[in-house]
Amino acid sequence: VRRAGYNAAEVFATALMKYVFLWQMEGNNYRRLYHFIPYQFGPFAKEIYGELEKLQKEGLISVDSVNDEEKTRIALADPAKAEQMLAELPEEFKQDVISIIETYGDLEHKALLAIMLEKYPDYVRKNHLMRKRQ
């Protein structure tokens, strides 16, 4: 992920949820691997945390809480292993992921949330942050 000011191999969990949701909604195969529900910070799928836990146990990623920002940061712990795993994925899957990251990867959290509100309002529960914008 190329977000400004962040390492290319790390992402916050709230952004990851949005990227996976966008991949499901806008990918060429319109996969429905996860059940997303409306949440105040955009679409949320509990199953993704299970996937992250599995990847962490396998030593592929690290998951850390950033206390001062009250966020969860996910980073690659083994980039070589990640490259190997990605190479084994079907080409259309990889192309969909690349397309989502190229389209949305540079956006800050507020801009990503604004896209969720505009394109998928049924997946964003109204909260105090949005009321301030209106």
Q: What is the pLDDT of residues 66-119, one digit of tens each?
A: 765 568 899 999 989 888 888 898 888 889 988 999 999 999 888 998 999 899
Q: Round to whole Å and give the CA distance between 12 and 73.
A: 4
Q: Identify the pLDDT of residue 66.
A: 74
- Angle at the Cα of 103 from the Cα atoms of 30 and 120, rounded to 5 degrees: 55
| Mean pLDDT confidence for 14-43 | 88
Q: pTM of the predicted model, to two decimals?
A: 0.81
What's the CA dihedral at 38, 42, 46, 48 to 10 degrees? 140
Amino acid letter, 107: L
Residue 132 has pLDDT above 70, yes or no: no
| Mean pLDDT confidence for 17-26 | 93
